[in-house]
Structure 1
């Protein structure tokens, strides 16, 4: 499998001031991934699907994993790549 990377820009986000990777082209399609059994009671864990991460000038696949739910009613919003006017931006997963 061959991927052509067109380029990237590192910029600062406000107010968190964390570096953000902006890609000119979209990430590759996600490979098929099998969800494994949760490490404990299913209502206490949420599956975070795998995703592509930009690392050392290339995409690296990070497999899915279970995350412990900090409070019963919180909902996990998985991270995702989103198109923006500057290119493709990674939006980190978070609880809401």
Structure 2
């Protein structure tokens, strides 16, 4: 007995019926291949550490009173970084010329050296021994 081949329309119907089964086999085959493939998971880059700036407090109002004598000049009170915090240097009368405090120098804050570090901005400090305003550069502390 001879086996006859199906006609073209019948073959197409047979292929259409077999396609879902063939597709599921292809998916299973591709899943089996995942076992040997390397999966790369990209995590977002860590955020840069928060930059903490320890700005100086507002100036303290001081009543200087009258000069002790002719030729005495007032050095205004000002903040100075000392140890781990801002320290108020009280104003006082001195027997030397006292120019006005120069304008603040704007410094660029560099990259944080450690997560716990904090930036202390640069500031002017009066040197009573020798006299004159001296710029204290900003720096990372902590």
Name the TM tier (shorter chain).
Answer: 0.5 to 0.7
Q: Unaligned stretches of 5+ in structure 2? A: 1-51, 110-118, 127-131, 134-142
**C-alpha separation in 2, matches of 1:83 and 1:68:** 31
* Whole-Å separation in 1 of the counterparts to 2:75 and 2:56: 18
Normalized against structure 2, the TM-score is what?
0.39
Structure 1 regions of 5+ residues with no counterpart?
1-5, 7-23
**Residue 66 of structure 2 is aligned to residue 29 of structure 1:** no
Structure 1 or 2: more strand by fraction: 1
**Structure having the higher Rg:** 2
Bigger helix fraction:
2
TM-score where L is the length of structure 1:
0.54
Relative contact order (C-alpha < 8 Å, sep 6+): which is higher?
Answer: 1
- Following TM superposition, by how much is the alpha carbon of 1:82 offset from its aligned partner in structure 2, in angstroms? 4.1
Runs of 4 or more off by more than 6 Å in structure 1?
Answer: none
Select which of 108, 113, 116 maps to 1:85: 108
